Amino acid sequence: MAGHAKFAAVYARPFWREAGWSGTATSRRGPLMEIHDASDAEGRIGALFGFVGAPPPYRSGIGPRVLAQQAIAQLVRLFGEQAAQPLWQGVQDWATEPATAAAADRQPLFEHPSYGAAGVPPAWRQRLLLAGTEFSSDHGGYLEGALDAAEVAVAALLAQRLLHTPVARSPIQQDTAP
């Protein structure tokens, strides 16, 4: 996902909820392909965010200002005129960050790679556990996959009774007597 970009717009309140809408949208008209409600849980402030579907060469061609204009126009089409005046809006384009994306990441990825069980040689299986998102068969490449892979690895450690050392508490967390 290193070549991805996201757009977010913040509003005084999640006005779409007043119409009974979830804030979730899938769209093929405009730069955002998948939009979600990113408001806080209580709805004290409203926010919509979207994954930018337009590929990195298109984004760098038009620049973030025009991209944001196109994204707002898309939100207006989907959610109405109230979407036109956000309190704040921002484009985060990781394809332009050299510490995140390499040149190969700027090639559009049209489908998620299929990840799965790691090919750990049998002799290593008791000693080597791979817990990154790429080792999740269900959600590889996503945060959910990282959690899934970590749970599998911890379960394996517990089964092998390798997790018997108590985790040291950080000095910051230690109780301080008044």
Ligand X SMILES: Cc1cc2nc3c(=O)[nH]c(=O)nc-3n(C[C@H](O)[C@H](O)[C@H](O)COP(=O)(O)OP(=O)(O)OC[C@H]3O[C@@H](n4cnc5c(N)ncnc54)[C@H](O)[C@@H]3O)c2cc1C
Which stretches of the chain bind ligand X, using CB under 6 A? 1-2, 4, 94, 100, 132-133, 141-146
Q: Give me the least distance between CB of 174 and ligand X, in Å please.
A: 25
Q: Which is nearer to ligand X, 75 or 149 (CB)?
A: 149
Nearest CA-CA partner of 89 in 74, 108, 105: 74
Q: Give me the least distance between CB of 45 and ligand X, in Å please.
A: 20
Residue 81 vs residues 72, 86, 128: alpha-carbon distances, Å:
10, 11, 55
3-state secondary structure of 176: coil
Residue at token pair 């000693």: 127
Q: Which residues of 67-87 are buried (b: 16+ CB within 10 A; e: fewer)?
A: bbebbbebbeebbeebbeebe
Q: Which is nearer to ligand X, 14 or 145 (CB)?
A: 145
Q: Give me the least distance between CB of 176 and ligand X, in Å please.
A: 30
Q: Which is nearer to ligand X, 110 or 174 (CB)?
A: 110
Q: Give me the least distance between CB of 134 and ligand X, in Å please.
A: 7
Q: Which is nearer to ligand X, 15 or 94 (CB)?
A: 94
CA 146 to chain centre: 12
